[in-house]
Amino acid sequence: MNAWVQIAVGLASSYLAATLSESFLHRTVGHAGPRLRRAWARRPRLCGHLLRAHYRHAVVHHGLTFARDHVTQFLDDEDKARVDAIIEPRGDPLIQRERYGLSVGLRGFLTYNGAVWPLIPALALGVGPWAALAALPIPLAAPLLSMFIHPYLHLPHREALRRAPRPLAFLLDTAYFRSVARHHYLHHAYPRSNFNLLLGGDRLLGTHRRPTAKDLDAMAALDIPAR
pTM beyond 0.75, yes or no: yes
- The DSSP code for 115 is G
Q: How many CB atoms lie within 10 A of CB 160?
A: 24
Q: Is residue 132 part of a domain?
A: yes
> Measured between alpha carbons, how far is residue 174 from residues 39, 168, 179, 180 in Å?
42, 10, 9, 10
Contact present, 119 and 80 (Cβ < 8 Å): no
pLDDT at residue 139, as a whole number: 85
Q: Can you give the residue range of the structural domain that contains 164?
A: 3-221
pLDDT at residue 102, as a whole number: 95
Q: Compute the distance between CA of residue 30 and CA of residue 23 in angstroms, rounded to an integer.
A: 10
pLDDT < 70 positions in the chain: 109-110
- When divided into structural domains, the chain yields a total of 1
**What is the signed CA dihedral for 151, 153, 157, 159, rounded to 10 degrees?**
-10
* DSSP codes, 3-17: HHHHHHHHHHHHHHH
Q: Is residue 226 part of a domain?
A: no
pLDDT at residue 208, as a whole number: 98
Q: Is residue 30 part of a domain?
A: yes
Q: Is residue 227 part of a domain?
A: no
Contact present, 34 and 156 (Cβ < 8 Å): no
Q: Is residue 20 part of a domain?
A: yes
Which amino acid, one-letter code, is at 74?
F
Q: How many CB atoms lie within 10 A of CB 167?
A: 9
Q: Is residue 10 part of a domain?
A: yes
Q: Is residue 22 part of a domain?
A: yes
Q: Is residue 196 part of a domain?
A: yes
